[in-house]
Amino acid sequence: MSKKKNKLQEAAEKVKAEVELTNSKISELGNYSYSLNNVLNIIQTQFDKIRNIPSDKHIEYDKIKKARLTWTREVEKIEANYKSSQTINVSSGAAGAATGVGVVTLAPTAAMSIATTFGVASTGTAISSLSGAAATNAALAWLGGGTLAAGGGGMAGGSALLALAGPVGWSIAGVALLGGGIMFWLTSSDKKKLEEIYCLISERDIKSYDLAIVELNERITRIQQETKLLNDAIVEIGSFGTDYTQMSENQQYTLGTYLNQMISSTQLLINPIMGLQPNYSENDFEKYLSFHRVEPKYREKKIKKLVIYMANLLFGIETDEKGRKLLAKSYRKNKEFLKDMKLEKKDVDIEILNTVDDAIKYKEELSKK
């Protein structure tokens, strides 16, 4: 007989299913974004040929043209980074060795999945909510999926991306910690305490992913609708000629509505899916540091990264001193976590977890003002 799953294992399986569905929806979004982008390229070419467009309309057109150009460059950058990471992995034997697969070119739709989901900031940086190279690598791992041939990013890659980019999903990791022998030192009461924390995280994440999936579905539907409207517009614009002053009043008005459609369609590409943005960002922690006296170590890159990670892990989760001590101890014993985060055991202590708790409360206070 198979051993009955405990509440945490059941919750983690639900989170895993939500992560898989979310990743599937992100991939689907990438396919529709690819189609929309192609249609926008065509209609943009048509607008470029039209002379004597009024200055106010031209300004709006130039804005969206620039925004889309920035977005396209970020998509290309994601593709290039992926190809570079593949080359490194193959040369080091990390990928391709097991099956003889060479460097895999990233499909544009996959890069668009990331750029559309996490958006392009006004500064021109894609995946702006993610923090540094580790986050980019997580995104690349997700994009790689099974193509990182020696084992692939697969589920782990997807979990890593969503962990850094939005709802944390680390209840899956929690089960691995609790069930993998790392916590053999726990008493039954302490183990139960940690299980309760991870169950709360699981419940929070399930709700978050559910909302994100609704948002992804809505975005996909909007993109489908806008793509159809723009396809119709392409046909009609072709009959307008290339001189705005020679168009009829009705044609000029119609051209204005098509410009508005281009604006709204472009926003569907570059605006992030809000439900997959982090609960706690680097900017949130910088605000906290500006108004709190802390030790110099909190300005170190690796400690900042740890605080932001833990703040996302525990955002919206009530913990007491004992719970935070257990979490700190469990992460100190997790060699894989320490290696991935480039940390030493001494970096993860109760003081860090207490600071995380204080930083979360500070953000919550600011949001009420």
Is pLDDT of 243 > 80? Answer: yes
- pLDDT range class, residue 351, cuts 50, 70, 90: very high
Is pLDDT of 311 > 80? Answer: yes
Among the listed residues 154, 63, 78, the one whose alpha carbon sits nearest the alpha carbon of residue 110: 78
Across-strand partners of 10? none
Q: Could you read off the pLDDT of 11-29 as tens digits, one per residue?
A: 878 877 887 788 788 888 9
Quote the pLDDT of residue 353: 96
The full length of the chain comes to 369
What is the 3-class SS of 165-210, one letter each residue? Answer: HCCCCCHHHHHHHHHCCCCCCCCHHHHHHHHHHHHHHHHHHHHHHH
Contact 282, 308 (CB under 8 A): yes
- Three-state SS for 2? coil
Quote the pLDDT of residue 341: 76
Quote the pLDDT of residue 48: 95
Please give the structure tokens belonging to residue 229: 């409207």
Quote the pLDDT of residue 2: 58
DSSP H helical ranges for the chain: 7-49, 55-91, 108-118, 132-144, 154-165, 171-179, 188-237, 249-270, 282-290, 301-314, 321-332, 335-340, 350-368
Q: Measure the CA–CA gap between 352 and 338, rounded to whole angstroms.
A: 14
Quote the pLDDT of residue 156: 40
Span 302-328, average pLDDT = 90
Contact 119, 130 (CB under 8 A): no
- Three-state SS for 305? helix
Span 326-333, average pLDDT = 88
Quote the pLDDT of residue 188: 87
Contact 131, 308 (CB under 8 A): yes
Q: What is the mean pLDDT of the chain?
A: 78
- pLDDT range class, residue 135, cuts 50, 70, 90: very low
Is pLDDT of 149 > 60? Answer: no
Quote the pLDDT of residue 178: 56
Name the burial class of residue 126, with classes exposed (0-12), middle (13-18) and buried (19+) by CB atoms within 10 angstroms of its CB: buried
Give the predicted TM-score (pTM) of the model: 0.82
Is pLDDT of 363 > 90? Answer: yes
